[in-house]
Amino acid sequence: MACPFCSLLCDDLSLSVSKGNIAVTDNGCRQAKLGFEREATVEFPRINGKRVSQTAAIAAAAKLLRRAQRPFISGLGTDVEGIREAVHLAEKSKAIVDHGNSAGFDGGMRVMQSKGWYMTTLAELRNRSDLVVIVGADLVNHYENFVRRFLAPKQTLHLAQSKPRRAYFVGDQSVAPKSTKACMIEGINCDVTRVFEFMAALRASIAGRALKARRVAQASMTEIETLGRAIKEADYPVFVWAPAHLHGTQADLTIQSITRIIDDLNKTQRAAGLALGGDNGGMSAANVCAWLTGYPLHVSFAGKTIDYDPVQYRTSALLEHDAIDTLVWIDAIGNAAPPATNPGIKRIIIAPNQAEQSSNADVFIPVGVPGVDHAGAMIRTDSVVTIRLDQVRSSSSPSVRKIIHSIVGQL
């Protein structure tokens, strides 16, 4: 079965279902268990906490949106179909639309839009990369299956069976993944707030420029030079990072410092990058919004034409600056509660059967989880593969697509 609970979208899980409750029996991870094993409860649409029919809740949501002056549609924790409808809803209601966790993968987008980059995908890494440099990405807590599925598979197309794959983990060693028989992972401790300095030193070392410093970002120059040599000797080194795991304001800088090394290497040998992120529908949202509007999220339909502004129209900024009067929060996948908003902001919450999500909502409409309660499709972290999701248990919960489509129909 395929799992919608992170952007790796693993499709080799085994599940058992009993009375609507699901257990992950094989190939799961922490996120998969949290998601699939959430207790199935029965929830009802509510207006101001009072139980109403779905029709009434949809009509109330439409009414709020008709009256709204500055509506904002976010969360977007849903599948491709849900996101398609959410973008349509944004256009109809002259709203701003963004993903709830856009800050977690924005950094990459800005680097891409300013300089571009050379990237790869999971199967290329799995079958071809003889050296993987993991830069700060917390695989252990967030992408647990990455090691088993991509770094240490039983067989590959192009790597020698006789020796283990080599990998380096650069960053805080307390979250370093462990070596396996098929993949030897070495750690280089690095101050997570100064990874871009480490990368600058690595770039200089690869280019053969000597640095006077003996330590950079807590790492010794010897370690950096050893890594540089290994990269130069490798056939297909791949750098793996997760924008959300890089230190706050320096994420852009760090990603750019990595992509520059890749650009340098590609002049004479081969190398590529792989970004992990866009969980909870984020990668799907960026792609769907790009094909429907031209822009990867951060889009406003308030004016005569579409307006793209990745600084202004970002969930965190809009909520913080009180720039909206109505929030439509869609999250059929994540486990987190909707964000707090200032008093007076109308809240339309579209989420699965979770009681705490209905509190504080002017309108709450329960929906099913894609890949659990209904079929769907989501786009993977490498932005290439779209995984088809199955319905795992019988369910009467509607999809986000269906609910939003109904609201759109009333605007």
Partner 1 sequence: MLTRLRGAKVYDPTNGVDGKTQDIFIRDGRIAEPPTNIRAADKTIDVRGCAAMAGGIDIHTHIGGGKVNIARMLLPEDHDRDLVARGRHPRMGCGHAAPSTLTAGYRYAEMGYTACFEPAMLPVNARQAHMEMADTPIVDKGAYALLGNDDYLLRMLARKADEEQVRDYIAWTLTSAQALAIKVVNPGGINAFKFNQRKLDLDEKNEAYQVTPRQILKALAQGVQSLGLTHPLHIHGCNLGVPGNMHSTLDMIRGLDGIAAHLTHLQFHSYGLEGDRNFSSGAAPIAEIINANPNISVDVGQVMFGQTVTESGDSMQQYAGHIFADPKKWVGMDIECDAGCGVVPFRYKDKNFVNALQWAIGLELFLLVDDPWRIFLTTDHPNGAPFTSYPHLIRLLADRSFRNDMLATINSDAANASHLAALKREYSLYEIAIITRAAPAKSLGLRNKGHLAPGADADIAVYRVHPNYERMFSNAEYVFKGGRLVVQKGKVCDEPIGTTHVARVDFNPTIEAEIEQYFDRYMTMKKDRMMVSDDEIRDHGRGKLKIHRARRRA
Residues in contact with partner 1, counted by CB under 8 A, come to a total of 62
The Cα 396–Cα 141 span in angstroms is: 33
Does the protein bind partner 1 through residue 270 (CB under 8 A)?
yes
Q: How far is the CB of 239 from partner 1 (least distance, A)?
A: 13
Nearest to 383 by CA among 2, 7, 126, 3: 7
Does the protein bind partner 1 through residue 295 (CB under 8 A)?
yes
Does the protein bind partner 1 through residue 106 (CB under 8 A)?
no
Does the protein bind partner 1 through residue 381 (CB under 8 A)?
no
Q: For the range 8-13, what are the long-range contacts, defined as Cβ-Cβ under 8 Å and sequence gap of 24 or more?
A: 8/122, 8/143, 8/145, 8/146, 8/149, 8/276, 8/380, 8/381, 9/378, 9/380, 9/381, 9/385, 9/387, 10/145, 10/149, 11/387, 12/149
Does the protein bind partner 1 through residue 27 (CB under 8 A)?
no
Q: How far is the CB of 142 from partner 1 (least distance, A)?
A: 18
Does the protein bind partner 1 through residue 198 (CB under 8 A)?
no
Neighbour tally for 92: CB within 10 Å: 18
Nearest to 15 by CA among 7, 26, 4: 26
Question: Cβ(279)–Cβ(7) under 8 Å?
Answer: yes
> What CA dihedral angle connects 252, 253, 258 and 264, to 10 degrees?
120
Q: How far is the CB of 42 from partner 1 (least distance, A)?
A: 26
Beta-strand pair 96-97/299-300: antiparallel
Sign of CA dihedral 173, 177, 181, 187: negative
Contact region with partner 1 (CB under 8 A), list: 96-104, 131-139, 173-181, 264-272: 264-272
Give the chain's length: 411
Contact region with partner 1 (CB under 8 A), list: 132-140, 196-204, 283-291, 312-320: 283-291
Q: Which of 195, 234, 379, 403 binds partner 1 (CB under 8 A)?
A: 379
Question: Cβ(328)–Cβ(76) under 8 Å?
Answer: no
Contact region with partner 1 (CB under 8 A), list: 22-30, 59-67, 160-168, 377-385: 377-385
Q: How far is the CB of 307 from partner 1 (least distance, A)?
A: 9
**What are the tokens at 173?**
């060693």
Contact region with partner 1 (CB under 8 A), list: 113-121, 209-217, 249-257, 317-325: 113-121
Does the protein bind partner 1 through residue 7 (CB under 8 A)?
no
Q: How far is the CB of 46 from partner 1 (least distance, A)?
A: 28
Does the protein bind partner 1 through residue 313 (CB under 8 A)?
no
Contact region with partner 1 (CB under 8 A), list: 26-34, 203-211, 240-248, 297-305: 297-305
Q: How far is the CB of 321 from partner 1 (least distance, A)?
A: 22
Judged by DSSP in three states, 298 sits in: coil
Q: With respect to partner 1, which residue has the nearer C-beta, 5 or 329? A: 5
Does the protein bind partner 1 through residue 272 (CB under 8 A)?
yes
Q: How far is the CB of 29 from partner 1 (least distance, A)?
A: 15
How far CA 118 is from CA of 225, 279, 379, 393, in Å, comes to 23, 22, 19, 40
Does the protein bind partner 1 through residue 230 (CB under 8 A)?
no
Q: With respect to partner 1, which residue has the nearer C-beta, 49 or 116? A: 116
Does the protein bind partner 1 through residue 84 (CB under 8 A)?
yes
Does the protein bind partner 1 through residue 11 (CB under 8 A)?
yes
Contact positions with partner 1 (CB under 8 A) in 382-401: 382-388
Beta-strand pair 386-389/307-308: unpaired
The Cα 240–Cα 134 span in angstroms is: 5
Residue for token pair 């909502």: 361
Contact positions with partner 1 (CB under 8 A) in 117-176: 117-124, 126-128, 149-150, 153-158
Question: Cβ(188)–Cβ(227) under 8 Å?
Answer: yes
Residue for token pair 């202004």: 312
Question: Where along the sequence are the contacts to partner 1 (CB under 8 A)?
Answer: 2, 11-12, 80, 84, 88, 91, 109, 112-124, 126-128, 149-150, 153-158, 235-236, 266, 269-270, 272, 286-288, 290-296, 301, 304-306, 308, 377, 379, 382-388
